[in-house]
Chains A and B, each alone.
Chain A
Amino acid sequence: NAGVMQNPRHLVRRRGQEARLRCSPMKGHSHVYWYRQLPEEGLKFMVYLQKENIIDESGMPKERFSAEFPKEGPSILRIQQVVRGDSAAYFCASSDRVSTEWSGNEQFFGPGTRLTVL
């Protein structure tokens, strides 16, 4: 009964390279969320996806960042032409529902990918 899995756990890139972060949600979960955490900060929402659909990407930078959640395989967060300011921990979370009046949107988090841009 694996939880949310993310890989790689650590990623080092030079400025201008591409970073690909992968997330496999918990079994049975169809909702995936990506968050970014800067040092000493809380998590900031980036994007919410369901299978093959981006539902809300309001937290994503307009350029260089993209996300997908294909029918088969993990969700991917892709950062093109990375800059030093992209260095952060990127967390993926999954849930089996959205929040309703009777139940909360309990999100289960992966261990994160720590991206370092040199």
Chain B
Amino acid sequence: SQQGEEDPQALSIQEGENATMNCSYKTSINNLQWYRQNSGRGLVHLILIRSNEREKHSGRLRVTLDTSKKSSSLLITASRAADTASYFCATDERAGSYQLTFGKGTKLSVIP
């Protein structure tokens, strides 16, 4: 598996439910970011969590990071149809780095 691998590959839920996506990575990281991509569009930055942080919130988003397990999760609460998109985690491996390594993403479908 590659650095920044998301799980599940696809997720379908009803509007109002919570959606949880997971990301695993292999090497040590400096920080981890989550991005959203609507179909055929560019990426939108959602949230960044540093390696010394364990949890971060932004609106309906909650991100956790477990560096001992090399994993992160993205929780979207009270999902809306507009949350339908692909979600990617991206890691950068050390301070001073610039190259983000992306996983293949989780495709989330929120059914109205």
Q: Is the CB of A42 within 8 A of B102?
A: yes
Mark out the residues of chain A between 99 and 118 whose CB falls within 8 Å of any chain B CB in the assembled complex: 99-102, 104-112, 114
Once the chains bind, are A111 and B45 in contact (CB under 8 Å)? no
Tell me whether A105 and B88 are in contact (CB under 8 A): no
B60 interface residue (CB < 8 Å to A): no
Contact A41-B92, Cβ < 8 Å, known A99-B31, A107-B45: no
Interface size class of B (residues with CB under 8 A): 20 to 34
Chain B residue nearest in CB terms to A43: B102
Assess whether B100 is interfacial by the CB under 8 Å rule: yes
Interface residues of B in 53-112 (CB under 8 A from A): 88, 90, 92, 94-105
Shortest B42–chain A CB gap in Å is 4
* Residue pair B96, A98 in contact (C-beta under 8 Å): yes
Which chain A residue shows the least CB distance to B89?
A42
A12 to B90, CA, bound (A): 29
User: Which of the residues B33, B35, B42, B99 comes within 8 Å of A104, measured between beta carbons?
Assistant: B33
A69 contacts B by Cβ under 8 Å: no
Q: How many residues of A contact B (CB 8 A)?
A: 33
B96 touches A99 (CB 8 A): yes
Q: Which residue in chain B gives the minimum CB-CB distance to A40?
A: B104
Contacts of A31 in B (CB 8 A): 98
> Which residues in A have their C-beta under 8 angstroms from that of B44?
109
Asked if residues A98 and B97 are in contact (CB atoms below 8 Å), the reply is yes
Instruction: Say whether B20 faces chain A, with CB atoms less than 8 Å apart.
Output: no
Q: Does A56 contact B (CB under 8 A)?
A: yes
